[in-house]
Every structure is written in C-alpha cells, then in structure tokens.
Amino acid sequence: MSSARPIPPTPKFQPPNEFQIVCSNSQYPNKFKRPYTSVMIVPTGVGASIGGYAGDALPVARTLASVVDCLISHPNVLNAAMLYWPMSNVLYVEGHALDRFAEGVWALQPVHQNKVGLVLDAGIEEELRIRHLQVVDATRASLGLPVVEYIVTDTPLQVEKWVDTKSGQSTGRIKHPDSLLRAVQTLVERSLVNAVAVVARFPDDDIEDTDDYRQGMGIDLLAGVEAVISHLVVKEFRIPCAHAPALSPPPLTTSLCPKSAAEEIGYTFLPCVLAGLSNAPQYLVKNSESLEKGCILASDVDSVVLPIDACGGDGALAFVSNKRNKPLIITVEENETVLNDTPDKLGIEAVKVSNYWEAIGVIAAHKAGVDPSSLRRNRINNIRHTSFVPSNGYTVSSASSFTSLRNLQTQAMSVGGIMD
C-alpha cells in the first residue's frame, strides 16, 4: 500500500464582490470601523439662505464630503446649472428616493456607470432644442458621460408653476404627465436606460418676477415644480431622475448675485444633471437581495444635517424615528427657509449649530467618537446619577444594588430556574 498522501485540491480563486461598497475619502480607510455616512438635506423651493439658489450649497457638500466617508445628498444641493463638481464619495439621490430610503423602504446600490436617457419636452422650440442637444453631445465628448439616447414627448408637457400662499413654497404641475411617462417608458424598454434626465419647457417670466432671485433673495420659482416632475418619474419607474428647465436666455444684468450666477452662463442647466445621473445609485426595494448586493441602508446613516426650520419633511422625520440606528440630527440656524418646522416645535432631539462651519466640526467629532460638547468651553458637566429600579418597582440604592440583584437571583434559582 502506498504511503503517499493525496494532494489537496487547489483552492479556487475567489473574486472580490463586485458590489462591495468602497465609499471613502481616504486612500487607506480604517478596516476596523465601518464607513461614516452622512446625509445633507436642503429642501427645494423654500428660499433656503444656503441651497436655495444656483448651487450655492455645493461648497458645503464639497467640504462635508472631505470629512465623511460617504455623503448622501440630492440634486438641489449638488446641481449648479452649468457647473458641477465630481466627488467620488457622494451619492446623488433624487428627493422622493431619499424619502423612501430614509423610511427604510428602498436601499441605495452604488454603481460605476448608468445608461442615461434624455426626455425633451415637445414644447421646446427648435433652436432651444438644438442648443440642449449640443450641450448633451459636449458632455459625451468632453466628459465621457454615458448619455445613450433621447426622445421627444408626443405632447407638450405644459408646465405651470406658482407659489403656495400658505407655505410660501414654490410648486406647480405639468398638464400632461402621461406624455412624460410614455416617453420615459419607451427609453426604459427600448434603450434599456436606467437613469433619466428630463428637460421641460418652462414659461418665461417677466424680469420683475425673477429679479429677487437674481439678487440672491426670495425663492426659486422653478424648483418646486421641478421636484414634482422628478418625483413622478422616480415613483413610477424607481430609477434615478433629475430635471433641467428649458428657458429663453434672460436679458443681461450688470447687478447679479454670485449665488444665482451659475444659471446665467449658458443656454441650459443640463451639465450638472447629466453628471449627477451618470453614476447616481440605483434604487432597490429593501429585501434579502438588496442586502446581498451590499446596498446602503437607512440604518447605515450616522448623521443628518439640515436647515433649522426644515425638519418636517418625510425624510427628516423618518430618520428621526429610526429605532435601529438613530442618526445624529444637526440643524443649522444660519440656513433659514420659509418653513417653520423647527426641532423644538416637532419635539426632535437635535444638535443646534450656528452655521455649516460648526456643523462640519460636530460631524468630524462624531466620526472620531468624540462627544462634540467636549470641544466647547464648560459644556461638560458632572456625570449624572440615576437610581436602580428593578422590575418589582422598589428603588434600590446604588451601594446595595449588586447585593440585591444577587439575592433576587438566588431566590429565583431556588424556585426552579435562572431569571431571564
């Protein structure tokens, strides 16, 4: 009989999980800690002091992204009309999808690239349509963006917009939403796109109506109905969507606020939308499949930062009620809106800060495992004392609590078992 031992089989090569999330601003992330994830929210069309104009919240997002491992935000924060800024650890999530994500219904699946389709409103004049298509080709040639096909709606969408007299928010509607949905469905089924940019023809305003906005005051009259359009598509098809309005170029003004200037330098607002959609995460219904694919869940969120008076949105309230892993809520006093949904009014426990400088400092401390209050003068008081109250309702002093527990355990064991 041969004494030779059998040769063990060669171990099979295990390729890395293609869906493994690497969402970090560090080249050498700490493998002993999970990624720190933050959400930045600035509601659309509410006149936010920061984030209510043409990309003026983007500097905040850029700075915050340099501190956290993963930042989740929405087009109102990340879009800047003709301008944008690529950030590898930022997830571009449409507002309706962000609400469903916060509620724990949807999960976010990071991707390398989406196939982006473009829907153009049939109401756009030929010259303006050509201008938009030239911009799309420019982003494909110069930025390499994966915009694969466009379609024109079979009926003009007919956008209407107004300001809600009760809330002060901008809002609106499109008269022919079915035409928009048919166009998107055609792109999804025939071209297999998994992200959609929409360009609708907006009515040209009298210069008096937009003068405040161009001066860095008031509210964005376009933003509210833009959200209505993207919400409609995302709700129906569960794919990333963002909107860019088609407008006639405004007359030149020598007095223009820098916060609004990004909308004055071109014929279209498409570049930032296409850049965001090109690698926006896909939206998956939360189930065992999404967990296997390494998706990001609401329970992964560590902190949420939002304006001081804008805490009443569906997403914000959902994060607050997250019992599995309630994130740190940070509200910024300097960023005021037309809303009045403050933490105090809603009974929300939040860290109130004066500005985004402080908010980012709080997040940096939180990420480091440091109580943010310990960075302030005289903010740490003596540790509080609490009494031990066992299940029988009688208070036990702290000095004798351990002895009392042992006595109770001994009595329980003597009558037939260990107390759970």
Reported as a single tens digit per residue, the pLDDT across 269-315 is 999 999 999 999 999 998 766 676 789 999 999 999 999 999 999 99
- Judge contact between 285 and 167, C-beta under 8 A: no
| pLDDT the model gives residue 298 | 94
By residue count, the chain amounts to 420
- One DSSP character per residue, 202-217 reads PPPPPHHHHHHHHTT-
Domains of the chain: 17-110+285-403 (3.40.50), 112-280 (3.40.50)
| pLDDT the model gives residue 126 | 96
Taking the model in full, what pTM does it have?
A: 0.83
- pLDDT tens across 367-408, in order? 999 999 899 888 788 888 888 776 566 555 544 454 554 554
77: helix, strand or coil: helix
- For 9, other C-beta atoms within 10 Å of its C-beta total 6
| pLDDT the model gives residue 34 | 87
Distances (CA, A) of 58 to 53, 148, 374, 377, 409: 10, 27, 29, 31, 59
